[in-house]
Structure 1
Amino acid sequence: MSIFSSDVFTGKHALITGATGGIGYETAKVLAAMGANVTITGRKEDVLNELKENIESEHPSAKVNVVVADLAEASDRERLVQAAEGKLGPIALLVNSAGIMGGGIIEELTQEELERVMHLNFTVPILLTQQVFETMKGNKEGAIVNVSSLSGIRGVVGGTAYVGSKFALNGFTQSFALEAIKHSVRVNAVCPGYVDTQMGRDAIRSKADKEGNSFEEQFKIESKKLPSGRITTALEVANTIAYLLSDAAENVVGEAVILSGGSVMR
């Protein structure tokens, strides 16, 4: 169910990174349904084209721009922003959804793996935001949502790299929010726990292997641990992102909104 209007983002250009993943995919659909023109990016061209067709079939008037890019590369980030603004105009909404899992317990963590996770989950969103913010700052308009994690709120065993990257992303969100709001640009984050996406299922499958359970058994175990009794859906995260991007959240600044089914409260 959606409480959103189809004209909330009419005329606004939204850039969604990680659009080939579950959260980014659903976010692009939700924002397009709310009237936004969307640039979707990721490394899997077939998935991006599928998403474009999906959106256009449901919303024939939607403008969807596909840009295949590897955001780990500076040249691709620059090309992405140029292609996005060249096709659909100034970017007013940015969703930093691209990210990876990774790491392990401290004895097994290599420098290469640590730097890879930190680069993609922390450094890359900052560097891309720097580019997009220039336009937002000039226009005195914009909203940014960083897709963080419950792992950016509390530590877990084996989480030094991933948890560290998400804590850092939340720190960036808060610090940059204080700078950006002076230019009428709002910055926030969402912090979901397990989400029923491929990445979320892979994390549960990895835990199942360690516990000697089947994936199905572990999924039920993780669901029952939550006060709500179920794992968050990608659409629920996308709806929260849409709210934070909208004027309905006009005075929400520097927040890290938790979606944990009640497992983490503060």
Structure 2
Amino acid sequence: MSEVRTGEGLHALVTGGGRGIGAAICRTLTTAGYRVTALGRSVGPLDELVRAGVAQGWVTADVADEAALQTALAQAAARFGPIAILVNNAGAAHSAPFARTTGDDFRRMLEINLMGPVTASRAVLPAMIEGGFGRIVNVASTAALKGYAYVSAYAAAKHALLGLTRSLALETAKTGVTVNAVCPGFTDTDLIGDSVARIVAKSGRTAEDARAEFTRVNPQGRLIAPEEVATAVLYLCGAGAASVTGTTLVVAGGEVG
């Protein structure tokens, strides 16, 4: 296995890279010296990242669209070289009581949160194995480790992503490729902001009270900062984590041990 140092100009691709946790990961990896491609569905946020120097390039695709995702990954590799670091960050959540969660809801959650990482990993693994080095980091959730009410489809998909992580890590253990997961708790992103707004609109509660629904499960009593998740991802991408594979790194203020 070749020696590879953090920040050596390796090509890193971050799905869901346009905002929130994904944008923080792009910024952190760029600062560390990686050549970062951000992948997302909307051109505007991606272009802003590049103009701000947060990423070096971007490609667009819906991770639930297998053909489009494969094309975007091929475009990224053609522009910036083989993808040595893959961060499967793109995800979506569906909230509803189980009785009102349809089969289509479950399939959609699986397509985005599981099959997106499956497609991306299949696309990049051959070059990683041939080069003797690679890092795949799946951004899962504390919902991959425990249950939450009213998000059964999301929790099931994130549990599946964690199973994929552990199995793929064993298959690639002797190749120089590591596969790990980062499991954030509730994180201070637009997604939480939108959820707070919906709670306020439906219940008439204050935004402070609605926000407390998300902070109360964290023993530290706060939301996780996107940069904290990005720092965990950076560690798993580096040479110092060469023996760390099949691992779940929880960033949740003590919510999950």
The interval holding the TM-score normalised by the smaller chain is: over 0.9
| Cα distance in structure 1, aligned partners of 2:250 and 2:142 | 7
Match of 2:158 among 154, 158, 166: 166
For residues 93-113 of structure 1, give each alpha carbon's deviation from its aligned partner in whole angstroms, at most 9, with x where no partner exists: 000000101142221011111
Q: Contact 2:186/2:215 (CA < 8 Å) preserved in 1?
A: no
Aligned to 2:25: 27
Structure 1 residue 252: deviation in Å? 1.1
| Cα distance in structure 2, aligned partners of 1:201 and 1:230 | 14
Aligned to 1:98: 90
For residues 7-48 of structure 1, give each alpha carbon's deviation from its aligned partner in whole angstroms, at most 9, with x where no partner exists: 822220001100123011010011010111111110110100
Structure 1 residue 207: deviation in Å? 5.0
Q: Does residue 242 in structure 1 map to residue 240 in structure 2?
A: no
Q: Percent identity?
A: 34
Q: Does residue 253 in structure 1 map to residue 234 in structure 2?
A: no
Structure 1 residue 236: deviation in Å? 0.5
CA gap 1:69/1:225 in 2 versus in 1, 3 angstroms: closer
Identify which range, 119-128 or 71-80, moves more after superposition. 71-80
Describe how 1:102-141 pairs up with structure 2 within 5 A: 102-141=94-133
For residues 182-231 of structure 1, give each alpha carbon's deviation from its aligned partner in whole angstroms, at most 9, with x where no partner exists: 21100000101100001133344445566652222222453354222321
Q: Contact 2:224/2:251 (CA < 8 Å) preserved in 1?
A: yes
C-alpha RMSD of the superposition: 1.8
Q: Helix, strand or coil for the counterpart of 2:58? A: strand
Q: Contact 1:223/1:231 (CA < 8 Å) preserved in 2?
A: yes
Aligned to 1:18: 16
Q: Helix, strand or coil for the counterpart of 2:183? A: strand
Number of residue equivalences: 253
Describe how 1:64-213 pairs up with structure 2 within 5 A: 64-206=56-198, 212-213=204-205
Letter in structure 1 aligned against 2:36: V
The TM-score normalised by the length of structure 1 is 0.89
Q: Contact 1:103/1:114 (CA < 8 Å) preserved in 2?
A: no
Q: Helix, strand or coil for the counterpart of 1:92? A: strand
Q: Contact 1:103/1:117 (CA < 8 Å) preserved in 2?
A: no
5+ residue gaps, structure 1: 1-6, 57-62
Match of 1:45 among 43, 46, 55: 43
CA gap 1:250/1:211 in 2 versus in 1, 3 angstroms: farther
CA gap 1:113/1:142 in 2 versus in 1, 3 angstroms: same
For residues 21-79 of structure 1, give each alpha carbon's deviation from its aligned partner in whole angstroms, at most 9, with x where no partner exists: 301101001101011111111011010011111126xxxxxx71211212222221121
Letter in structure 2 aligned against 1:126: V
| Cα distance in structure 1, aligned partners of 2:36 and 2:45 | 15
Letter in structure 2 aligned against 1:42: G
| Cα distance in structure 2, aligned partners of 1:76 and 1:47 | 19
Letter in structure 1 aligned against 2:49: L
Q: Helix, strand or coil for the counterpart of 1:191? A: strand
CA gap 1:244/1:211 in 2 versus in 1, 3 angstroms: farther
| Cα distance in structure 1, aligned partners of 2:208 and 2:38 | 32
| Cα distance in structure 2, aligned partners of 1:208 and 1:240 | 32
Q: Does residue 215 in structure 1 map to residue 213 in structure 2?
A: no
Describe how 1:53-64 pairs up with structure 2 within 5 A: 53-55=51-53, 64=56
Aligned to 1:4: none
For residues 106-153 of structure 1, give each alpha carbon's deviation from its aligned partner in whole angstroms, at most 9, with x where no partner exists: 210111111111111111111111011111011111011000000000
